[in-house]
Amino acid sequence: MTFTEWFIFFLVVQVIHFAGTWKLYQKAGRKAWEAMIPIYNAVILMKIIHRPWWWVILLFIPIVNLIMFPVIWVETLRSFGRKSTADTWLAILTLGFYIYYINYTQDVKHVKDRNLKPATTAGEWVSSILFAVVAATIVHGYLMQPFTIPTSSLEKTLLVGDYLFVSKFHYGARIPQTPIAFPMVHDTIPVAGIKSYSTEPQVPYLRLPGFEEVKKNDIVVFNWPVDTVNAFQQYGDGKYYHKPIDKKSNYVKRCVAVAGDSLEIIEGKVFINGKQLQLSERAKPQYSYEGTTDGQQLNAQYMYQMYDITDGFYFNSATNEFVISALTEETAQRLRNNPYIKSLERRIYPEEQKSASLFPNDNKKRYNLDYFGPIYIPEEGKTVAITPESLPFYRRIIEVYEGSEMGIDNTISLNGTQVLLNGKPIESYTFKQNYYWMMGDNRHNSEDSRSWGYVPYNHVVGKPVFIWFSKDKYASGFFDGIRWDRMFTTVKGDGKPVSYLPYFLILVVIFFGFNYFRKRKKSDS
């Protein structure tokens, strides 16, 4: 839906509200016309039902309003003496239209001094749970979202088993584009394994102001741009789903190039605008290595315990050759000093060895993981030439990211050497948003922009800022596997991460101690 369509929908809702409540407004001592004025009518309604004015704000927050509307319907009925269980269920099951029946057929009176406390313990629990869900949904959607590191693409920087808090306000929180969805879950309802949202309607893309922009070296959580995977773990049914942007799978990678940059990878090293990218101090890039021993047998357990190799170790006992999927240069040097190691070399794909599976997935432009580009990262407002040679780089941008996902029907075709957009010749294109190049620090074992290309700005979710828990999947016992030194550490910063867990525990003890003595003093008095 476009902004115009949403505005029309908003006006229709106002008409429906006026038609179903104007008599109730009069019975509450208000004027009938007050039920007609948008927003103002909601403020007056809050006065009628004896609820705070800021509830009106909750009615305009997607997903939260799905909880608030039924609450408002029930509260309206109770403010006019209709508080039976049957009245409550009729309000919810008729989507509020039961109020029409009360408005036009029942002689009800406004209860001016209604007791707002739930009449039963069950009612009090329901009320508490509803508003806990509302508060959590607001925090989850606009401030902080929990996130788990599922893969090793950023291993040694962010580890498999790290539990993060992702800030949505650093880059600016997005207004949820899918307004009808189960709160606080992503694309699937846990346990049930079913879709958690309705694809229609869709809210136009809108992002609240942030206080910083995505920068090179930032670790970023974003929606996987090409996510049309088999949904809800029902693998094998042959079905694929085109998800709304905010319901695409969440990925986390490092931003190595921003809009306007030119990127090239040479021998596995990233170059931006002709200069090698200087990674932050905590970044730990890893590469694949291969080597031989002097005959000594090595196993994965030994390599994990001695060298923290977690991403795959393969040893051929017949030839004494081994392959390490991911290794930092610092650890590689340590390993070379091992007397058992006869040779150790970093794997580098030859420049002439091409891979058709990498972006832009074109027979004429084939790269590999270690030799890639040069490639331009599109910038909002910049114009590029569109030719049959450049088209593979920008086709998805024009047709999808700035086409169908923005409600625009863009179709690219070729007529000989002429590129056609919606049947008309096109020689250039001006980008409507910024794009980014995201890569994993695990250079040889990361599905990233080298596989599927650019990440649009409207796919950016947030910035990981804090590790609140970390569990080593290789450990046998639960408590043995807790990485205590990583708990309550920041993601960004220089030097070795410092855990703030002791300070947190001290604050908890102080809080509960203060609360205990305060209650005891109050009880004694």
- Of residues 168, 247, 248, 253, which has the active-site annotation? 253
Domain identity same for 151 and 243: yes
Q: Cα(31)–Cα(41) distance, rounded to whole angstroms?
A: 10
User: How do beta strands 428-430 and 435-439 pair?
Assistant: unpaired
Each residue's pLDDT, cut to its tens digit, for the chain (525 residues) gives 677 888 888 899 999 999 999 999 999 999 999 999 999 999 999 999 999 999 999 998 888 999 999 999 999 999 998 888 898 899 999 999 999 999 999 999 999 888 777 766 766 787 788 888 888 889 999 999 999 888 888 888 888 889 999 999 999 999 999 988 888 888 888 888 788 888 888 888 999 999 999 999 999 999 999 886 554 444 445 555 678 999 998 999 999 999 999 999 999 999 999 999 998 888 889 999 999 999 889 888 888 889 988 888 999 999 999 999 999 999 999 999 999 999 999 999 998 888 888 998 887 777 899 999 899 999 999 999 999 999 999 999 999 999 988 888 999 999 888 999 999 999 999 999 999 999 999 999 888 999 999 999 999 999 999 999 998 876 666 667 888 888 899 888 777 888 888 888 899 899 888 888 887 877 776
Residue 368 within a domain: no
Residue 26 within a domain: yes
Q: Cα(417)–Cα(399) distance, rounded to whole angstroms?
A: 19
Residue 183 within a domain: yes
Q: Cα(460)–Cα(246) distance, rounded to whole angstroms?
A: 9
Domain identity same for 322 and 396: no
Q: Cα(414)–Cα(403) distance, rounded to whole angstroms?
A: 18
Q: How many independent structural domains does the chain possess?
A: 4
Domain identity same for 70 and 152: no
What are residue 482's phi and psi, to 5 degrees?
Answer: -75, 125
Residue 275 within a domain: no
Q: Is 153 a catalytic residue?
A: yes
Domain identity same for 329 and 387: no
pLDDT for 476: 64
Can you spell out the DSSP letters for 426-493? -SEEE-SS-EEEEE-SBTTS--SHHHH--EEGGGEEEEEEEEEEEB-TT-SSTTTTB-GGGTTEESS-
Last residue of one domain, picked from the residues 432, 453, 469 = 432
Last residue of one domain, picked from the residues 397, 412, 432 = 432
Last residue of one domain, picked from the residues 432, 448, 464 = 432
By the 8 A CB rule, do 186 and 196 touch? yes
User: How do beta strands 286-293 and 275-276 pair?
Assistant: unpaired
Domain identity same for 12 and 33: yes
Kindly report the pTM of this predicted structure.
0.87
**Given the structure tokens 């050497």, which residue do they identify?**
417
Domain identity same for 406 and 441: no
Residue 315 within a domain: yes
What domain range is 331 assigned to? 286-346
By the 8 A CB rule, do 402 and 432 touch? yes
Domain identity same for 341 and 421: no
Q: Cα(149)–Cα(229) distance, rounded to whole angstroms?
A: 19
Domain identity same for 94 and 152: no
Domain identity same for 335 and 385: no
CATH number of the CATH domain containing 221: 2.10.109.10
Q: Provide the 10 A C-beta neighbour count for residue 103.
A: 21
Domain identity same for 10 and 63: yes
Compute CA distances 205 → 1, 197, 202, 248, whole Å.
Answer: 10, 17, 9, 15
Question: What letter represents residue 394's amino acid?
Answer: Y
Residue 98 within a domain: yes
DSSP 45: H
- Of residues 79, 152, 153, 196, which has the active-site annotation? 153
Strand blocks (E) in 347-441: 372-376, 383-385, 412-415, 418-421, 424-425, 428-430, 435-439
Domain identity same for 290 and 231: no
Q: Which residues, including other chains, have CB under 8 Å from residue 338's CB and lie 6 or more apart?
A: none
Residue 337 within a domain: yes
Domain identity same for 296 and 309: yes
Q: What angle do CA 21, 24, 27 make, to 5 degrees?
A: 160
Q: What angle do CA 379, 384, 390 make, to 5 degrees?
A: 110
By the 8 A CB rule, do 134 and 58 touch? yes
Q: Cα(485)–Cα(476) distance, rounded to whole angstroms?
A: 18
By the 8 A CB rule, do 154 and 254 touch? yes
Q: Which residues, including other chains, have CB under 8 Å from residue 28's CB and lie 6 or more apart?
A: 48, 79, 110
- Rounded to a whole number of angstroms, the distance between the first and last alpha carbons of the chain is 61
Residue 506 within a domain: yes
